Structure 1
């Protein structure tokens, strides 16, 4: 579970030691924000919900979200605790199974209603759970921020990296990883190897290794590599701040 964040029933798997996220409430708030990025097509916790629901368990937060979306989306009801939804049989079955907590294991990924898609993504083996790869969600977070900050440039998601290009320069390559970086002994071997290969291939000469900011890792770290002494290059490990999530929500 070391690379997964989220919850499984009443158990929570929260990251720690990053930026200003120094309490369980703030870490829950961070996860609800991050879940928006992964579940963007059918689930969105607004800023008020992120702030308010951080006082409750993640299971309670997602239970609240499902119930709220159900109340907004149901079309008609024939029987107690039985709902029928227009145009989507799979949505009806999925939602009714969730509501009635039946022995049936029918959960369909082929649902049209957003709330049914949410249930299908979070209801596994009759338990409410959502576990997200933290490296993936950090990558998507950085990608989203870069697109907003550099709207005048071309942002390319390479899967294992992000590239920023424009007509004026060759391009910057950014490798992302959600790690707790320690200045005296940074764990950057894998990302550094990828950076060295990219420079040797001539794909880019300016490369950043992006990690979440923490109390020890607050400034950029230039990285010098002996085997690249005959190459023109720049490699830096950079702390990426997540604190704007909390600052934005506190202003409500």
Structure 2
């Protein structure tokens, strides 16, 4: 990640190119996560919540149901425009995790859904600490493909050779900034089963074409990936059904802001 551009190139190019497939293909979040947001993070009427790396607003919609006052921070213009179109009442601002256009202590809660691995560094953690009030909470959420299913593992085999140096949740490097720091308390994990139900083209093809490093490929290569995904129907009868359920596990992590600067 260069000093002149805080956004990884795969994210900048991929998410600019793929805002349509991102909106169509990305799964929503399990209903149980709404209870986690309320009970564990404290999101609700009167709370001030920042959705950091908000994308097209998939997670912002779930946050809006809590009744909290929301601010969405998203650096990619195409994604932020989608969010503003679908959620016009949410304040949507251009910014990055390392530089949020917010005052000190402005937020009770910061949440990052499908995003923190992109900016897991000390500078971002210090900026989140600055924006949170004392005792505020940071929530990190990911929908993770359940690769115990053979056809899901086959999808991973198709796309992994393209990932290059793009940050990924499964590598676990996103935890490194929390090691040996005094800004936040211990990470606490909750897990929720989830599935994305719909036609193959939406929940598989659109979903995978919205992956940052796939979306950033030249169009001919993207279409080659799409065709390889469609060929999985020849191997797995389940994928030939009119509606399929793509299995996920939703991981939700929280930590509390400490008073140390």
Please say whether Structure 1 and Structure 2 have the same fold, judged by a TM-score greater than 0.5.
Answer: no
Q: Could you state the TM-score of these two structures normalised by the residue count of structure 2? A: 0.28
Higher alpha-carbon Rg: 1
Higher RCO (C-alpha under 8 Å, 6+ residues apart):
2
Q: Could you state the TM-score of these two structures normalised by the residue count of structure 1? A: 0.29
Q: Which has the higher helix share?
A: 2
